[in-house]
Amino acid sequence: MKNIKKNKVTIVGGGFTGLSIAYELAKDNIDVLVLESESEIGGLAASFDVSGEKLDRFYHHWFTNDLDVMNLIDELGLNENIEINPTNTGMYYSNNFFKLSTPLDLLKFSPLKLSDRIRLGLLALRARRIQNWMDLEDKTAKEWLKELGGESVYKVVWEPLLKGKFGPYAEDVSAVWFWNKLKLRGGSRGKGGEERLAYYTGGFVSLANSLCEKIQQLGGEVRLNSPVSSVIKNNNEWQVCIGDEIIKTENVVFTTALPIISKMIEEWADKKYLETLNRINYIGNVCLVLELEKSLSNTYWLNVNDPDFPFVGIIEHTNFKKPENYGGNHIVYLSKYLPHTDHLYSMTSDELLEYSVPYLKKMFPEFDISWIRKHHLWRARWSQPVVEKKYSKLIPEETGPESGMHICSMAQIYPEDRGTNYAIREGRRMGRKLSNELK
């Protein structure tokens, strides 16, 4: 084994959480190293190239009330890169398209009778008035949504989305998770009630790169292509193993999925602690990205409430950012959440495209396969933690069983859901906390 110099803090994972921790530490001149297993930083916000422009592998946007990411961008002096636009959202249900961008659209939603449309509108208002999310911890989203909106509203609107997002775990999802989604989206609207979303020029990875550059300017180090195989405690120091290298460090911060952490420390951690790390379920995601010569529709975000359709959402990114940014290509994301054991998860990009085309033609009769200029497939094994009832009791402590071990992962973000805004919030909080302890 080859030993390298000792670090004060080593961070496992180069997504927004890890980078935010490193940024806070580097600002206080604390020796910090970030280790990223992939060839690019960003984690789930990694990108690929489309006609010379960086594009997110998985669709991303921010809400206008995502203040933590906005504050970081402001601090880095990058406000000119934020673009905020009203967006078109809709729903595909029973072979029809329905616009759902404003309260008036909701009143016109014909699959529900008028009284249920009103209940649906009031449901969101009632949900946003809830102050103490702990009151919802003992309820599933299914139970709570039925209480607020009734059976018809649940069957038509909410059940397909829960099943599309969480698959076999749909009926286990906590009311807290859904409450937070309703609260967040309701706070990102313009004066006319339209939803307003934000995007970062050059893709989210552009912000990650700027943050990485700032860390390095401040004296921190970020290493790519550095998959950690194990982390062990030896006397008063940690040894982080990467291939034939051992990095010695006083503190190690894990930002990866909890089961990955479990694997790294299984040599020494006790069985009960490992069970804690493996208790929370995760669901995977496959995202088929199409570069098209023509647009499918004028809708940015289309929720698919048809149980026969394999994708939970069709996101036409170029109805938010113009096709001219991507060489004139119309960019469409087809997103599917599923267990990693599902046969779709293991399909090649060509196989998934062939599987998807008949569904696209059914939904968009004018669509022709000749429109497809290129297609790309991205997979995420640890895409989404399954937030169950009483989730607060499942979350592992951020301090590990041995001194100097810390965990700051997306599964600990609660009652909010995982996302770059909260990854940045929690990362900066952890970084400041460590900095105060180490000064």
- Residue 103 is predicted with a pLDDT of 76
- Distance between CA atoms of residues 300 and 57, nearest Å: 17
pLDDT band (50, 70, 90) for residue 221: very high
Rounded-to-integer distance, Cα 101 and Cα 99, Å: 6
What would the pLDDT profile of 350-378 be if each residue is shown by its tens digit? 999 999 999 999 999 999 999 999 999 99
Q: How many CA atoms lie within 13 A of 85 on its CB side?
A: 15
Q: Rounded to an integer, what distance in angstroms lies between the CA atom of residue 21 and that of residue 432? A: 8
What SS3 state is found at 267?
coil
pLDDT of residue 86: 82
Task: State percent of the chain over pLDDT 90.
Answer: 77
Strands 89-93 and 301-304: parallel
Average pLDDT over residues 417-435: 95
Whether residue 245 is predicted with pLDDT greater than 60 in this model: the reply is yes
**Whose CA is closest to 57, among 67, 66, 46, 49?**
46
Q: What is the pLDDT of residues 134-166, one digit of tens each?
A: 999 999 999 999 999 999 999 999 999 899 899
Q: Are strands 330-338 and 282-292 parallel, antiparallel or unpaired?
A: antiparallel
What is the distance between the alpha carbons of residues 65 and 292, in angstroms, rounded to a whole number? Answer: 32
Q: How far is CA 117 from CA 121, 128, 310, 349, 363, in A?
A: 6, 17, 26, 39, 24
- Partners of 120 in the beta sheet? none
Contact criterion met (CB below 8 Å) for 42 and 15? yes
- Domain locations along the chain: 2-60+203-280+387-438, 85-196, 282-385
pLDDT over 90 (residue 184)? no
Decide if pLDDT at 187 tops 50. Answer: no
Condensed to tens digits (0 to 9), the pLDDT of residues 291-323 reads: 999 999 999 999 999 888 899 999 999 999 999
CATH code that applies to domain 2-60+203-280+387-438: 3.50.50.60
Q: State the CATH class of domain 85-196.
A: mainly alpha
Mean pLDDT score across all residues of the chain: 92
- Give CATH for domain 282-385: 3.90.660.20
The rounded distance, in Å, linking the Cα atoms of 293 and 307 is 28
pLDDT at 194: 58
Strands 32-35 and 2-12 turn out to be parallel
Q: pTM for the full model?
A: 0.93
190 has a pLDDT exceeding 60 = no
Encoded amino acid at 115, one letter: S
Could you tell me if residue 94 is left (phi over 0), alpha (psi between -120 and 50 degrees) or otherwise beta?
A: left
